[in-house]
Amino acid sequence: YLHAADRESAQLAHFNDPWQPALLRAVHQVANAGERSNCPVGVCGEAASDPALAAVLIGLGVTSLSCNVSTIQDVAQAITSLTYVEMRDAALAALKASNAAEAKLLARKHLHKLASLGL
């Protein structure tokens, strides 16, 4: 649990945005450590259920995703329509952001194929 903020609290909602650059940097650090240790790194829940964010997570080095069953088709379509280089470039762009909205915007510039898929 990286956010550890009450998801039900409107006052804390901004802390729960999975596009927060600090969260993405933490995931990237964990994924790098996992790679060095030959240990898989997975992300589950709503973050893995967002097709664009799933692509970014793979670009950060995450090795497995567990998403909501209702989003599996969209997530699969997103990640199979992109190259690893596109996902990595989107991830690296998102890491440079200063806030969640900017991270999403910067990443989406590298994930332009998703718009044509309605994702």
pLDDT grade, residue 2 (50/70/90)? Answer: low
Structural domain count, the chain: 1
Is there a domain that residue 5 lies in?
Answer: no
Region for 45 from its dihedrals, namely left if φ exceeds 0, alpha if ψ lies in -120 to 50, beta otherwise: left
User: Could you count the other beta carbons within 10 Å of the beta carbon of residue 57?
Assistant: 28
Is there a domain that residue 1 lies in?
Answer: no
Q: pTM score > 0.95 for this model? A: no
Give me the domain span that covers residue 70: 10-116
Neighbouring C-alpha atoms within 13 Å toward the C-beta of 39: 9
Is there a domain that residue 21 lies in?
Answer: yes
pLDDT in tens, 66-92: 999 999 999 999 999 999 999 999 999
Q: Which amino acid is at 2?
A: L
Is there a domain that residue 2 lies in?
Answer: no
Mean pLDDT for 3-20 is: 77
Is there a domain that residue 4 lies in?
Answer: no
Is there a domain that residue 69 lies in?
Answer: yes
Residue 8 has pLDDT above 80, yes or no: no
Is there a domain that residue 37 lies in?
Answer: yes
Question: Using CA atoms, how far apart are residues 90 and 10, in angstroms rounded to an integer?
Answer: 29
